[in-house]
Amino acid sequence: MLRIDNLKLKPPIEGDEKDALLKKVSKKLNLKPVFFRNFKIIRRSLDARKKNNIFYVYSVCFSLFLPEQDIEALLKNKKNDLKLYDPAIYEPEKGFKHQGKLRPVIAGCGPAGLFAALVLTRAGFDPLIIERGASMEERIALTEEFKLTGKLDPETNIQFGEGGAGTFSDGKLFSHLHDRKGTMDFILRTFVKYGADEDILYDAKPHIGTDVLRKVIVNMREDLKSMGAEFRFKTALVKPLACGGKLSGICLRDKEGRLSELECRSLILATGHSSRDTFLNLHDSGVHMESKPFAAGFRFIHPQALIDEAQYGVDYALLKLPPADYKLVYHAKSGRAVYSFCMCPGGIVINASSVKGSLAVNGMSLKARDSGYANSAIVAAVDESDYGSGLFDGMLFQEMLEKKAFEAGAGKIPAERFVDFEKNTGLPDNIKTEGIWPYRVSDMSALYPENINTDIKEAVKYFGSIIKGFDGSEAVMAGVETRTSSPLRIPRNERSECNIKGLYPCGEGAGYAGGITSAAADGMKVANNLIMNYN
């Protein structure tokens, strides 16, 4: 295969973009299109640094129906920008089998747990996947009921249930992981196999959308079942059982609250960052943990048109561009970092509560990103200097903030215009926005300690100098955003085991991931190590 980078197309793109690129490459190499085979786009990004000169940038790959000496001659000509293309292709191992030993158990059905299950199932290990929440179909219905009535099911909600917390999110599939083994490509190809659009394979900022992701997860579950995996929903891991430093079993709780024990020698722990009762039980069972810093702040909502104009220019609508995003970072005078996190173009702010009497928010969007509103977390880095040096002090800090938010909004999402938050009069004006679930206008200044409020105000004023109107009267804040990452990490060795042999901490909850794809990659890594340990 051959590759050419840095091909450009100006928006709006009329017709088939692949055909337009093939014509460009054909002209560049002075070859007729008939000589090209397997022509495909391998990367697409948007360069909007100059608003009067916005363009898409592509990399493409292909093979040529030419004699080898002619291809070598084309490669030697530097003007062609032609290079060999040999990407790393990852495929899970097959045929190990667990040879009559107890099958592995996976606790958690988010991306880490599902991709661990995929690796184990293809290897013939027939894993058991337990999930405290409901299956996708029931989870969607319960979440919709919560949105309309405020009635929360602590076991099935935005955080818990098949697909994990990422199911009700923007569905971004971008990761900063340096991928030399082709793992990320495999993850994206897997999503496409189960129903995602093919553009996620080459977009620089791939996005699947919560509506598409729900279908993908169900298709993946059914395929895993056909290969030998078993799923038990509404079944919670209470704690691991150990003997002599080795895992001997697990204690489970069913939907009726009944406890039972299951013999187990290998448990992948992929419970997510919000399973706080599990953290406490793991600690009581002797699992070593350590506190880690995280970030907390608010969701900021703007009209999507405001962001589009700031990023693309006043004629953005004529170019038929996707809803614009942004990435912002500021270091406050105090030294604290304040930054945007999980930006959702064309999305909506949702109530991501998982505990009665508490409230946390997140951003969610559909594949089309057509809500008309942009939202992003604007969060401040926090550490033990903010909440204490105890192991669970970070988690308790999150709980305290979320209880305040629930009380401020009387069960609805508390919200306030930034201009009122900045003035801190305690008398916020009314808000008109459809970019948020049911909300209540509230005084947001009482939710965080004053030093954190000050740093966020300072940062948002700076962001307003970069994106016009970011700190203006149309900017609405919703809170609190506390579930940016786990406040704890479970140390593990090079074999992915913690201090209890046979227990494999994994994904966001264990402190080893920060999104859908990085969690999926960690699940695959841990599953491969489990297989090596078995054999």
pTM for the model? 0.94
Domain 105-290+488-534 fold:
FAD/NAD(P)-binding domain (3.50.50)
Over the range 189-210, which residues count as b (16 or more CB within 10 Å of their CB) and which as e?
A: bbbeebbbeeebbbbeebbbbb
Nearest in space to 480 (alpha carbons), one of 513, 520, 449, 434: 449
**E strands in 152-272:** 230-233, 236-243, 246-253, 259-263, 267-269
Q: Average pLDDT of 295-301?
A: 98
- Residue 495's DSSP bridge partners are none
2-84 topology per CATH: Alpha-Beta Plaits (3.30.70)
How many angstroms separate the Cα of 207 from the Cα of each of 188, 213, 227, 366? 10, 10, 28, 9
Beta bridge partners of 84: 2
Q: In this predicted structure, which of 11-20, 167-176, 186-195 has the lowest mean pLDDT? A: 167-176
Cis peptide before 12 (omega within 30 of 0): yes
- Burial (CB count <10 Å: 0-12, 13-18, 19+), residue 271: buried
- Reported as type and span, the H/E element at residue 416 is strand 413-417
Residue of 140, 144, 137, 143 whose CA lies nearest to 218: 137
The SS3 of residue 134 is: coil
Sole residue written with tokens 């909007």: 48
Beta bridge partners of 238: none
Structure tokens that stand for 481 in this block: 């955003």
The pLDDT of residue 475 is 97
Identify the band that residue 14 occupies on the pLDDT scale cut at 50, 70 and 90: confident
- Model confidence at 486: pLDDT above 80: yes
Q: What is the pLDDT of residue 287?
A: 97
The pLDDT of residue 88 is 86
Say what the pLDDT of residue 99 is: 62
The count of other CB atoms within 10 Å of the CB of residue 62 is: 20
Residue 375 has a pLDDT of: 97
Interaxial angle between packed helices 111-122 and 516-534, expressed in degrees from 0 to 180 and rounded to the nearest 10:
40
Model pLDDT, residue 451: 97
What is the chain's Cα-based Rg? 25
CA angle 486, 490, 492 (to 5 degrees): 135
Buried b (16+ CB within 10 A) or exposed e, 392-407: bebbebbbebbebbbb
**Is pLDDT at 93 greater than 90 in this prediction?**
no
pLDDT of amino acid 446: 94
Residues of the chain above pLDDT 90, percent: 90
**Across residues 279-294, what is the average pLDDT?**
97
The encoded tokens of residue 406 equal 């629930």
Distance CA(77)–CA(28), nearest Å, equals: 11
Tens of pLDDT along 69-84?
Answer: 999 999 999 899 999 9
Tell me what the pLDDT averaged over the chain comes to: 95
pLDDT at residue 63, as a whole number: 96
What are the φ/ψ torsions at residue 400 (nearest 5 degrees)? -65, -45
35-90 pLDDT, tens digit per residue, is: 999 999 999 999 999 999 999 999 999 999 999 999 999 999 989 999 999 998 88
Tokens for 300? 């900021």
pLDDT-derived band at 176, boundaries 50, 70, 90: low
pLDDT classification of 174: cutoffs 50, 70, 90: confident
Q: Is the pLDDT of residue 98 over 90?
A: no
| Residue-wise pLDDT tens digits, 237-272 | 999 999 999 999 999 999 999 999 999 999 999 999
Query: According to the model, what pLDDT value does residue 96 have?
Result: 65
What's the 3-state SS for 373-385? Answer: EEEEEEEEEECHH
> Burial of 259 by CB count in 10 Å (0-12 exposed, 13-18 middle, 19+ buried)?
exposed
- The rounded Cα 157 to chain-centroid distance in angstroms is 17
Domain boundaries, the chain: 2-84, 105-290+488-534, 293-481
Tens of pLDDT, residues 108-162 = 999 999 999 999 999 999 999 999 999 999 999 999 999 999 999 999 999 999 9
DSSP 156: B
Reported as type and span, the H/E element at residue 18 is helix 17-29
Q: What is the DSSP string of 297-312?
A: EEEEEEEHHHHHHHHH
Nearest-angstrom CA–CA distance, 226 and 97: 16
Per DSSP, the residues of 475-508 read -EEEEEE--SS-SEE----TTS--SSBTEEE-TT
What distance in Å separates the CA atoms of residue 264 and residue 236, rounded to the nearest whole number? 15
- Structure-block tokens of residue 1: 């295969």
